[in-house]
């Protein structure tokens, strides 16, 4: 049996998702073990900007540096150095707390001499079985220590951007412009293809929702390390209100402007590509552009109009508040570094799957806006393309609703579910 193209795309997406999640779980680190053992951990490679104020230069990330290699827990076992694969940058050139320089060659010599100094009397007594159990437990403890080191390194990367360097506000806004443009171009573009392209068989709701999800994942991968991948004024507002320590409020207006420009540019590109097909669609269905009935020819592909046969205007407004609240609540959970979700690799895929799921549920009612510029940017294009003031029908519903829902959803997560420091 040969499945339609839309079904094959959906199946391929889920196959990729099932492949990525197990791979991503290997990169996720957690604070396993007790906190007391953290005091002996060394975090190499973190720059000056990542160090906590008030700490000695030999202390990185609040953990005291050690002379030479990092030993196994306890004093009875040979010393082992952290594998080079766990060090993303070159180690800091800092002297030990005693003040004398300590080279890598010295570390290796110390390691050799320390190992040679151990004898059979220092090992656990009771035979080979007890010794094997002792070393297995030591191996597990060292692995937990490496995971805790990796956790701190990941936090330093997120907070201080020591891999790329902190991007300027202009570069962040450019990232939001490009990312939002790609999202709207691909997401609204597939609706244009489905409605005006006369494809046989026509793409249905599951296919369109899945393409929207893939567009979200791609856009998040592209922009998350530069601007944080907001791509949505409602997300930006929620971050400024609920996480002011991560996103300063003075960046809100520049982000909004960049997102609006990106969405409008994407809508213009889609209209240039499908303008002829839209005119043919209107001719076929007897739609006169600019009349109240002409909302049918841009609904979904550009701006959004609620399905009043299924839901009232106020019901649609409340639905937009609710679905955007759910989106932001779960987005905060997915990207929370204190949770067990492997956010480094899987978060964009999970966010895309979340958008696709919400779209499949709410699109028949309101079109599933959840993003003010996803609606308002393309509306501006249709206003100048001949629809006139009809293009702004119900615009407030898709602008104000997501804003309220995003702030409420983020606040709920931060005040109830987020782990407090």
Give 59's DSSP letter.
Answer: E
Distance in angstroms (rounded) separating the CA atoms of residues 65 and 239: 35
| Domain containing residue 185 | 5-23+169-417
Cis ω before 201 (30° cut-off from 0): yes
Domain co-membership, 214 together with 301? yes
What domain count does the chain have?
A: 2
Domain co-membership, 202 together with 282? yes
Q: Dig out the tokens for 415 from the structure.
A: 């005040």
Residue 124, by phi and psi: left (phi above 0), alpha (psi -120 to 50) or beta?
Answer: beta
Give 385's DSSP letter.
Answer: I
pTM over 0.75: no
The pLDDT assigned to 339 comes to: 84
Distance of CA 15 to the CA centre of its chain: 20
Domain co-membership, 154 together with 231? no
Domain co-membership, 128 together with 192? no
Full pLDDT tens readout for the chain, 421 residues: 555 555 555 556 555 555 554 454 444 433 334 444 443 444 444 444 444 444 443 333 333 444 444 444 444 444 444 444 444 444 444 444 444 444 555 555 555 554 444 444 444 555 555 666 777 777 777 767 766 665 555 555 555 444 456 889 999 999 999 999 999 999 999 999 988 876 555 668 888 999 999 999 999 999 999 999 999 999 999 999 999 999 999 999 999 999 999 999 999 999 999 999 999 999 999 999 999 999 999 999 999 999 999 999 999 999 999 999 999 999 999 999 888 876 677 899 999 999 999 999 999 999 999 999 999 999 999 999 999 999 999 999 999 999 999 999 999 999 998 876 4
Q: Per the domain annotation, does 29 fall within a domain?
A: no
The pLDDT assigned to 136 comes to: 73
The pLDDT assigned to 84 comes to: 47
CB under 8 Å to 63, separation ≥6 — which residues? 38, 39, 40, 41, 42, 43, 152
Domain co-membership, 66 together with 186? no
Distance in angstroms (rounded) separating the CA atoms of residues 114 and 105: 14
Work out the angle at residue 25's Cα, subtended by the Cα atoms of residues 24 and 30, and round it to the nearest 5 degrees: 125
Domain co-membership, 16 together with 79? no
- Length of the chain equals 421
**SS3 sequence, 120-160?**
HHHCCCCCHHHHHHHHHHHHHHHHHHHHHHHHHHHHHHHHH
Q: Per the domain annotation, does 30 fall within a domain?
A: no
Domain co-membership, 286 together with 378? yes
Domain co-membership, 127 together with 261? no
């Amino acid at each position: 049996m040969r499945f339609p193209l839309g079904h094959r795309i959906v199946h391929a997406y889920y196959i990729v998702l099932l492949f990525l999640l197990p791979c991503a779980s290997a990169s996720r680190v957690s604070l396993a073990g007790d906190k007391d053992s953290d005091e002996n951990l060394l975090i190499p490679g973190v720059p000056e900007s990542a160090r906590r104020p008030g700490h000695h230069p030999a202390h990185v990330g609040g953990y005291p540096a050690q002379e030479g290699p990092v030993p196994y827990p306890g004093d009875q076992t040979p010393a082992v150095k952290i594998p080079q694969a766990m060090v993303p940058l070159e180690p800091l050139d800092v002297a030990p707390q005693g003040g004398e320089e300590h080279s890598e060659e010295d570390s290796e010599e110390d390691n050799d001499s320390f190992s040679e100094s151990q004898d059979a009397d220092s090992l656990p007594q009771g035979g080979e079985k007890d010794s094997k159990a002792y070393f297995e437990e030591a191996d597990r403890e060292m692995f937990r220590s490496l995971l805790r080191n990796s956790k701190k390194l990941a936090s330093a990367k997120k907070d201080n951007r020591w891999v790329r360097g902190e991007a300027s506000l202009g570069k962040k806004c450019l990232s939001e412009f490009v990312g939002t443009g790609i999202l709207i171009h691909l997401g609204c573009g597939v609706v244009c293809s489905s409605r005006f392209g006369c494809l046989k068989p026509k793409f249905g709701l599951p296919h369109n929702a899945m393409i929207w999800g893939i567009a979200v994942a791609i856009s998040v991968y592209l922009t998350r390390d530069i601007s944080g991948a907001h791509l949505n004024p409602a997300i930006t507002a929620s971050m400024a209100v609920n996480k002011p320590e991560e996103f300063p409020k003075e960046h809100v207006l520049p982000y909004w402007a960049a997102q609006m420009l990106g969405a409008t540019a994407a809508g213009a590109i889609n209209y240039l590509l499908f303008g002829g097909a839209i005119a043919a669609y209107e001719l076929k269905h007897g739609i006169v552009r600019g009349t109240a009935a002409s909302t049918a020819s841009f609904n979904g592909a550009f701006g959004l109009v609620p399905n009043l046969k299924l839901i009232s205007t106020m019901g649609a407004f409340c639905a937009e508040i609710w679905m955007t609240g759910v989106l932001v609540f779960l987005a905060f959970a997915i990207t929370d570094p204190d949770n067990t979700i492997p956010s480094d690799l899987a978060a964009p895929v999970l966010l895309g799957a979340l958008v696709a799921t919400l779209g499949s549920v709410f699109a028949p009612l309101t079109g599933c806006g959840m993003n003010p510029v996803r609606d308002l940017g393309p509306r501006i294009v249709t206003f100048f393309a001949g629809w006139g003031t009809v293009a702004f029908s119900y615009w407030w519903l898709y602008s104000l609703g997501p804003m309220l829902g995003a702030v409420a959803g983020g606040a709920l997560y931060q005040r109830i579910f987020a782990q407090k420091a």
